[in-house]
Amino acid sequence: MTKSIDAFHLKLIAIVAMLLNHIGNGFDFMSFSPPLFWLTEFIGKLTFPIMAYLLVEGFHYTRNRWKYGLRLAFFSLVSVVPFHIYFENNWQFEVTDLFNNVLFTLLMGLCMMAVCELTDNRFLHVLIVLFFMLTTSLSDWNLFGILIIYWNYRIKDPRKRVVLPIVYVILLLGLMMIPAVGMMSESEIFDNLFYLTTMTGLFLTIPLLLRYNGQRGYSPKWVKYGYYLFYPVHLLMLYLIRSVLF
């Protein structure tokens, strides 16, 4: 397989997939076109595995992990208000909203890897992962985000590192849903199956990441910071567009 995709290409794909997902969600596509909403959710599942993969790459190869973490922390805080007003559609904030967005999940993933570096003890790794799953329980991608990051970090085989985190998450979701089916109404079963089928969009990342050549590609400073700045800016712009139209 030709490895023709660099980090710049992956970032572009992640950003476009995120934008489509957030348009479908924030403009309530489900109310007028469930198939179109499903498609935006399905495509949107490309974003986080790519972000997680690049986060682990950055953790291993960055020259300064402190600066990397501070950059994530800064943009996570900047994103708190745009994320809340767009998805909650109100200005009533609580303390827990400080941890609401995916950049916080990535920040906690970075911290988790830094702590895991201190020990090779598998039991301690389990405790560390559980702790950081707790810290992200209220943020975007919550528990599953931390697991995807950890498996990307822990699995060393290049192909398995791409494939197994996706397989594990889908299996875990299915196993979590099966025991609860008997207690669900028909509409709840439909909603959960709808969600589970959109999660299969995670598999779209596999051929992309297998083609990753390990190179940064086009990487001036505006790309380096614009990758993170896009997150709060596009949420704010979508909120303003929705406010004008509706």
pLDDT for the residue numbered 177: 83
Q: Which of 135, 142, 149 is nearest to 56 (CA)?
A: 149
Q: Give me the residue label for tokens 């950059």.
A: 71
pLDDT for the residue numbered 141: 93
CB 69 within 8 A of CB 110: yes
Is residue 129's pLDDT more than 80? yes
Q: Which distant-in-sequence residues (6+ apart) come within 8 Å of 177 by Cβ?
A: 192, 196
Which tens digit of pLDDT belongs to each residue from 191-240? 888 999 999 999 999 999 999 999 999 989 899 899 999 999 999 999 99
Q: Percentage of the chain surpassing pLDDT 70?
A: 100
Neighbours of 21 (CB within 10 A): 22
Tokens of 66: 């402190």
Q: Which burial class, exposed, middle or buried, applies to 22 when counting CB atoms under 10 A from its CB (0-12, 13-18, 19+)?
A: buried
3-class secondary structure, 212: strand
* CA gap 87, 120 in Å, rounded: 39
Q: Percentage of the chain surpassing pLDDT 90?
A: 86
pLDDT for the residue numbered 179: 77
Is residue 180's pLDDT more than 80? no
Which tens digit of pLDDT belongs to each residue from 84-94? 999 999 999 99
Is residue 178's pLDDT more than 90? no
Q: How confident is the model at residue 34 (pLDDT cuts 50, 70, 90)?
A: very high
Q: How confident is the model at residue 56 (pLDDT cuts 50, 70, 90)?
A: very high
171-177: list long-range contacts, CB under 8 Å, 24+ apart. Answer: 172/144, 172/147, 173/144, 173/199
pLDDT for the residue numbered 1: 66
Q: Which of 124, 120, 209, 232 is nearest to 161 (CA)?
A: 209
pTM of the model: 0.95
CB 209 within 8 A of CB 53: yes
pLDDT for the residue numbered 127: 98
Computed over every residue of the chain, the mean pLDDT equals: 95
pLDDT for the residue numbered 108: 98
CB 196 within 8 A of CB 177: yes
Which tens digit of pLDDT belongs to each residue from 101-126? 999 999 999 999 999 999 999 999 99
Which tens digit of pLDDT belongs to each residue from 45-55? 999 999 999 99
Is residue 153's pLDDT more than 80? yes
pLDDT for the residue numbered 92: 94
